Structure 1
Amino acid sequence: MDTPHFDLDFEPAYGEAVKVAEGVWRITCNNPSPFTFAGTNSYLIGRGRDVALIDPGPENEAHFEALMRALKGRRLTHILVSHTHRDHSPLAARIKAETGAITVAEGPHRAARPLHAGEVNPFAESSDTAFIPDLALADGAVVEGDGFTLSAIHTPGHTANHTGFALEDSGILFSADHVMAFATTVVAPPDGSMGDFMASLEMLLGRQDRIFFPGHGGPVADPPAFLRGLRTHRRMRERAILERVKAGDTAIADMVATIYASTDVRLHGAAALSVLAHLEDLVARGQVICEGPPGLSSRYRPG
């Protein structure tokens, strides 16, 4: 059975534009955390004077200056945003004002489903609700410049508006936070949807990409094998949750304490949201029963 091999070997080279492929440079923001790994990756793409920027990153002065240095002598035409979490999109406004480039994304931030009565979105503060793209890209839509052609590949799951970008004739997919080499991504309701995430994995498995450049950490060098591993990992986690429900665990906190016993306790809050994402999917499929809508404080039993 395939399982993902996570790669923690990554040199962020803060402040520098690192060439990672022909016509592609990575600039990593110095904003490391348990969720961002070594920091957020921004990418410059283009073989000529015109370039595109994928994921400008957070409001960070040093990162802004690094991006402007990398842009010296070039014309930035497009700022592409994979999704609207605050470690990826906020710097778009400042760079747009500096360069005149247009902003491009699937759309503004939104939750994957409506909030339940009394529910509070735990990602409200980490979401960039001010970002509205100049150009909203449909799935498969293309952005072109002198020396680059990028196609939007919608990959909802981590967020409802999450999008990867494929660089034409290169085999490169900029996978943002949907697929990362160092860890599995957070899928947390109401921003995220496990059903959407798994469907996006299946869609990517049907593609022929050669390499993924993610939003955090180093590249995914063998996308098909890694994607199969992620799928297996999520299915194993689903089985573990079902086993805990069948064993009598009715609360998410009890499931997390057992399933994530070896995980950094700082991540247990995120783990609880991941368990909730699986339970939402399991309830929708009739394998688990919940009185009322699934939530962090709800009680669960076998279907």
Structure 2
Amino acid sequence: MAQMPPIPDRETWPTGLSEQLEPLVRRVLAPNPSPYTFTGTQTYIVGAGREVAVIDPGPNDTGAAGHADTNGAGHVDAILKAVGDARIVAIVCTHTHRDHSPASRPLQAATGAPIIGCAPLALDDDGPRADAAFDADYAPDRVLADGERLSGDGWTLEAVATPGHTSNHLCYSVVESGALFTGDHVMGWSTSVVSPPDGDMADYMASLQKLYDREDRVLYPAHGPQIDNPRQLVRGMLGHRRQRERQIVSLLEDGGSHAIPEFVSAMYKGLDQRLHGAAGRSVLAHLIDLERQGRVAVEDERWMILP
């Protein structure tokens, strides 16, 4: 996690408009920018024929005051406009944070399409992200396992299990084109927050390695620009997380015990204050992983190295 880049202007990232990214993929940006969502949640429409899938329908924004898109309509209305006369045959979610899955319900009510994808997960989140609380009302009609597929007119999506950011996180590959929708697992503008108890650093690292071992052509994250150099970026993310772990161990080896805010102050110099809480959650995830390895211990919320 680095200093948050400035959010681009709305001419560069217009909300509520359908943007063609490649023959089988369109994007509609939700109007929910924040320090954790960057320009907002990107909803993807897969398919160019009579049947389409909608990936990460986003927050439940139906045009409430202060949450309208550039055309004055809500995000669900913008999705329906982008879909046009095609039939939505699947509403697909990567995971169940509130900026990703709640709009699945009004979209299903409007279209009758099934909600398919990640498993439900109702969990209290004591992390710093107001937008990252779990969507306890998410109710899929079908849960996809790793490698399981669903298809429509001219397209096939394959689920790729990527736990770590959340335990129920899935990415989705477009078999015909080599594109991969990565949700919050891999993003080009920021590293993902790994927030215990559901976020797990060991799982996250294994999921990054899983993506590194693949040969996807392009990654479409839920937040920020597309990634045209997938293996290079993922390799850098793996190295970044290993560096963070080395920083933690080095601080502890210098002696004494440390509380989470002390790690953040030492490791994230110049970080936007709004992101300190999220950085602390990822530090905690690293420490829990090191504790499982028998390398550190904690007492009264202060961490120490083990001999």
How many percent identity over aligned positions?
Answer: 43
Q: Any idea what SS the aligned residue of 2:205 has?
A: helix
Following superposition, the deviation at residue 249 of structure 1 comes to 4.0
Q: Which residue of structure 2 lines up, in the alignment, with residue 294 of structure 1?
A: none
Q: Any idea what SS the aligned residue of 2:77 has?
A: helix
- Give, as a single letter, the amino acid of the residue that structure 2 aligns with 1:79: I
| 1:249–1:255 CA contact under 8 A, matched in 2 | no
- Give, as a single letter, the amino acid of the residue that structure 2 aligns with 1:227: V
Following superposition, the deviation at residue 121 of structure 1 comes to 3.4
Matched, 1:299 2:306: no
- Residue 214 of structure 1, aligned match among 221, 236, 248: 221
Q: Which residue of structure 1 lines up, in the alignment, with residue 277 of structure 2?
A: 269
Q: Which residue of structure 1 lines up, in the alignment, with residue 42 of structure 2?
A: 41
- Give, as a single letter, the amino acid of the residue that structure 1 aligns with 2:96: T
| 1:29–1:63 CA contact under 8 A, matched in 2 | yes
Matched, 1:165 2:172: yes
Q: Any idea what SS the aligned residue of 1:57 has?
A: coil
Distance between the aligned counterparts of 2:264 and 2:257, measured in 1?
10
Following superposition, the deviation at residue 261 of structure 1 comes to 2.3
Following superposition, the deviation at residue 110 of structure 1 comes to 4.9
Gaps in structure 1 of 5+ consecutive residues:
292-296
Q: Which residue of structure 2 lines up, in the alignment, with residue 121 of structure 1?
A: 126
* 4+ aligned runs moved over 4 Å, structure 1: 6-10
Q: Normalised by the size of structure 1, how large is the TM-score?
A: 0.90
Q: Any idea what SS the aligned residue of 2:304 has?
A: strand
- Give, as a single letter, the amino acid of the residue that structure 2 aligns with 1:302: I
Following superposition, the deviation at residue 129 of structure 1 comes to 1.1
Q: Which residue of structure 2 lines up, in the alignment, with residue 284 of structure 1?
A: 292
Q: How does 1:15-164 map to 2 (within 5 A)?
A: 15-61=16-62, 62-110=74-122, 121-122=126-127, 126-164=133-171
| 2:155–2:176 CA contact under 8 A, matched in 1 | no
Gaps in structure 2 of 5+ consecutive residues:
63-73
| 1:154–1:162 CA contact under 8 A, matched in 2 | yes
Matched, 1:231 2:231: no
Distance between the aligned counterparts of 1:287 and 1:177, measured in 2?
29
- Give, as a single letter, the amino acid of the residue that structure 1 aligns with 2:79: L
Greater length-normalized contact order (CA 8 Å, ≥ 6 residues apart): 1
Q: Which residue of structure 2 lines up, in the alignment, with residue 250 of structure 1?
A: 258
- Give, as a single letter, the amino acid of the residue that structure 1 aligns with 2:135: D
Q: Which residue of structure 2 lines up, in the alignment, with residue 178 of structure 1?
A: 185
Distance between the aligned counterparts of 1:12 and 1:85, measured in 2?
22
> What is the CA RMSD across the aligned residues, in angstroms?
2.0
- Give, as a single letter, the amino acid of the residue that structure 1 aligns with 2:154: G
Distance between the aligned counterparts of 1:8 and 1:214, measured in 2?
18
Distance between the aligned counterparts of 2:136 and 2:253, measured in 1?
39
Distance between the aligned counterparts of 2:206 and 2:122, measured in 1?
19
Q: 1:137 to 1:25 in 2, by over 3 A?
A: same
Distance between the aligned counterparts of 1:221 and 1:108, measured in 2?
31
Q: Which residue of structure 1 lines up, in the alignment, with residue 71 of structure 2?
A: none
Q: 1:165 to 1:8 in 2, by over 3 A?
A: farther
Distance between the aligned counterparts of 2:211 and 2:96, measured in 1?
21
Q: Normalised by the size of structure 2, how large is the TM-score?
A: 0.89
